[in-house]
Chains A and B, each alone.
Chain A
């Protein structure tokens, strides 16, 4: 049979400082970009390139039979009284343009006027298009989101991501240990931060579909962590003499083929989506692509080390009351019985087993 990996013994945890270093650099780069752009607005950019879903405003998709140049289009849109419209030709569909218009009317004005902004943009763009001939240009789609709704969607996107993470934390804590849950969730959170950071650096638009992609990658990522944790749990019963450090390395190595095959296959499908999925799906597929790469990486590089480090701390903290309890002849409830799952044999190999 064709075999990808066989009998590999890589000391993954030994490289944890290197891995965690990379992760911190990536996170800092993303955050640095967000903070820098938020403060100084280089070339008019913001911390994140939020789409209309989260910022409010209107996007009009227009199809031309005989497309004008972007400049001509801009001139006629300026003339219709829309300032600072962003005109973006859709690369894979010649003749189609996305016209992004900020919320019409200053936000401080009365409710009814900001309200008018939701529909006014479409009417104004429609007016501008008339100059290209009645049958030449056609509005094929609009997305208009008012200020209140965009704020709601923003809050909701953050709330659902956090809710999903909490759900995972609770379930993993229930099935394994809470340290495992925390390690998996920190790893996922790290992936989300790195992905958002890259979105800030490259100014890729963040819209509702990107949130769907982030939720998808949260799913993939935690899936990876659980596969390895599951193996750790199993190996701890089989190899009682091994330390958690060794067991974790062993488990990562044993599941490595699976990790590479699964992630590789999903990666291939997502690359297909990036290349063929079209402009509308592009932010979505790019978020998935980054998520797959960092999600696979962080299971080995982040979730494992954090879990081992944390378990050791818990073990060290448990040893002291346990020793005190032994001295006074009272058994401590926190001291696990020999052979109980996970916590037994953490740290140095235990001779008692």
Chain B
């Protein structure tokens, strides 16, 4: 009976050990090859199996926040302009529309001439603008002003979808830039609107950041002024442009004043990057005819003038092409501008109806044209992004941390092993076997869960080793105590394990419970600590109790029932 259970235990331990070793140093996802079992093959597999965090491997770690409040603000402002236009189009007297966007409140307020028509105006507006009840807006008329308020839950839904959209766009931009094995995921709580981007091996994330941060808000706008053949209307200063609006120094809701840098060919200057081009101002209609979301494809081609300059050709999606076609058909000889990030890049007059394609000209270098094309293709970010954390670790710095960390841990381990062998003699071997097995199985656990090893993770390993040693000390001290109280050796071992086991379970479960709390409330590094710790402690219950016990059983079975001494 005793013999059989010893055999069973030995088989279980043997299988688990081999399995653990294979998981750690064997190949993943392919059949093993003879080469895998040579020292260099094992080393290569080990390096492949254990994912090192960026703090150990080197690379860039960026946390960015999507400025969702900016997105909601723009949404509300656009809705306000659109509401006024819709009301006017339907023949109502809509005096003024404004957007109120302060501290979490988003409101569209429309001043109307005839409050008794509120219901009809509301209908006309909601037919064209998405601010009806089912869009999450609530309507409240009061005297001459009609107010639509965006509800809190709709704000959250919109902010959430903006973040998701930003995540997708960032993903496509990252892929286009060609970063190897990036990690891109949501970061922080549900309402934090943060995105985590990790790029292993990238030391200087500047270029990637430029690509990501580029809002590339493209719009095709109507430039206000007399139609061609008169030249398009520009102003030397912003003040002049505003004065031309005759609205007492304010810009009305349906107009915007944008800077415009004239192209080199028009001013007749040499294409010389060192000569700053004169900046002028133009007045354009708001909202834009169409925006960048309607762009289907874009390509950078050398500019017709030749030389080092490039221009961008783009084509539009069906919905955009319909709008653009209708507008250009109705506005022949009017001037149209291409605005990028609130700056007019080029102005041209409409010769004939254009439907689905166009071009942006204006002093692009190959690099800037390519970058712009990339952002146009992947679509515009719904809102700007803000960097909250940026960490880069050089591979040598990471390697240094690993090396000194490993060196220190090894020294610690040697001291522990030496002491255990000195103090507990023969039984010390027990503890050392259990400790080594613990480390192998812990690594196997990390590999199996695909966990990433980071510096805090190493802290978790240190705590695990400490607790593994502690388990053995608890058991051995207890066995010694039982022997001192005059029990036989087999019963001392039995009792020692029995009593120590209760304590070991209590200490382990307490730490696991608190680790679960850490996992639930902590982010990134703290979670890494919790994961390693939980894996290590679960493994330890096996290696320190089950394995150590089996070794004692084996010792007893060799010596027979009437053992006189135990090396402990």
Measured CB to CB, the residues of A under 8 A from B are 1-4, 61, 63, 93, 111-112, 115, 118-119, 122, 138-146, 148-149, 152, 156, 159-160, 163-168, 170-172, 175, 208-209, 211-213, 215-216, 218-220, 222-223, 226-227, 230-231, 234, 254-255, 257-258, 261-262, 264-266, 268-270, 272-273, 275-278, 280-281, 284-285, 288
Contacts and interface: CB of A to CB of B under 8 A. Distances in A.
Contact of A273 (B392, B408, B416, B516): B408
Contact of B408 (A213, A230, A277): A277
Given A118-B388, A163-B521, A258-B473, A172 B510 contact: yes
A2 B423 contact: yes
Interface residues of B, number: 75
Contacts of A168: 510, 513-514
22 contacts: A2-B422, A139-B203, A142-B390, A145-B390, A148-B388, A160-B518, A160-B526, A163-B520, A163-B521, A167-B514, A167-B516, A171-B510, A213-B459, A227-B470, A234-B502, A261-B423, A272-B412, A273-B409, A275-B408, A280-B397, A280-B401, A285-B408
A148 B386 CA distance: 10
Q: Which of B209, B397, B412, B481 has the most CB of A within 10 A?
A: B412
Given A262-B470, A281-B405, A141 B392 contact: yes
A152 B187 CA distance: 12
Interface stretch (B91-99, B297-305, B461-469): B461-469
Contacts of A218: 514
Contact of A265 (B387, B397, B415, B517): B415
A283 B168 CA distance: 39
B413 interface: yes
A228 to B, nearest CB: 9
B497 to A, nearest CB: 14
Contact of A163 (B388, B422, B517): B517
B397 A156 contact: no
B515 to A, nearest CB: 8
Contact of B459 (A142, A146, A212, A269): A212
A167 B516 CA distance: 8
B503 interface: yes
Interface string B408-440: 110111011001001101000000000000000
B239 interface: no
B462 A269 contact: yes
The 7 closest A-B pairs by CB, nearest first: A269-B412, A140-B394, A149-B388, A278-B404, A212-B456, A167-B517, A276-B408
A294 to B, nearest CB: 15
B161 interface: no
A272 B466 CA distance: 14
Contacts of A164: 514-515, 517-518
Given A164-B518, A280-B397, 19 more contacts: A2-B422, A2-B423, A4-B423, A139-B204, A141-B393, A142-B390, A146-B389, A152-B188, A159-B521, A172-B510, A209-B455, A209-B459, A212-B526, A219-B514, A234-B502, A264-B419, A272-B412, A276-B404, A280-B401
Interface of B: 63, 65, 67, 188, 192, 203-204, 206, 209, 386-394, 396-397, 400-401, 404-405, 407-409, 411-413, 415-416, 419, 422-423, 425, 455-456, 459-460, 462-463, 465-467, 469-470, 473-474, 477, 480-481, 499, 502-503, 506-507, 509-511, 513-518, 520-523, 525-526, 529, 533, 568
Given A118-B387, A146-B388, A223-B470, A141 B525 contact: no
Given A140-B396, A168-B513, A273-B412, A227 B466 contact: no
Nearest to B478: A258
B412 A262 contact: no
A63 B477 CA distance: 50
Contacts of B63: 149
A288 B465 CA distance: 14
A254 B481 contact: yes
A211 B506 contact: no
A145 B389 contact: yes
Given A168-B513, A269-B462, A227 B407 contact: no
B510 A160 contact: no
A164 B393 CA distance: 30
A166 B514 CA distance: 8
Nearest to A274: B408
A5 B397 CA distance: 45
A152 B517 CA distance: 18
B26 to A, nearest CB: 30
B514 A142 contact: no
Contacts of A209: 455-456, 459, 525
Contacts of B419: 261, 264-265, 268
A177 to B, nearest CB: 13
B513 A227 contact: no
Nearest to B67: A111
Majority SS of interface residues in chain B?
A: helix
A269 B456 contact: no
A268 B518 contact: no
Nearest to A281: B405
A261 B521 contact: no
A220 B401 CA distance: 24
Contacts of B511: 219, 222-223
B407 A257 contact: no
B390 to A, nearest CB: 4
B514 A216 contact: no
B406 to A, nearest CB: 10
A141 B390 CA distance: 10
A254 B482 CA distance: 12
A278 B401 contact: yes
B401 A281 contact: yes
A177 B192 CA distance: 39
Contacts of B473: 258, 261-262, 265
Contacts of A278: 400-401, 404-405
Given A140-B394, A223-B507, A268-B415, A156 B521 contact: yes
Contacts of B503: 226-227, 230-231
Nearest to A61: B397
A276 to B, nearest CB: 4
B388 A156 contact: no
Contacts of A273: 405, 408-409, 412, 462
A119 to B, nearest CB: 6
A141 B59 CA distance: 9
Given A148-B388, A261-B423, A227 B507 contact: yes
Nearest to B63: A149
Q: Which of A145, A175, A215, A288 has the most CB of B within 10 A?
A: A215
A288 B455 CA distance: 14
A272 B521 contact: no
A208 B63 CA distance: 16
A269 B415 contact: yes
Contacts of A220: 463, 466
B405 A277 contact: yes
Contacts of B394: 61, 138-141
Contacts of B391: 141-145
Contacts of B413: 269
A2 B387 CA distance: 60
A210 B26 CA distance: 35
Contacts of B518: 160, 163-164, 215
Q: Which of A148, A234, A258 has the most CB of B within 10 A?
A: A258
B195 to A, nearest CB: 12
Given A141-B397, A171-B509, A215-B526, A288 B477 contact: no
A109 to B, nearest CB: 14
Contacts of B206: 119
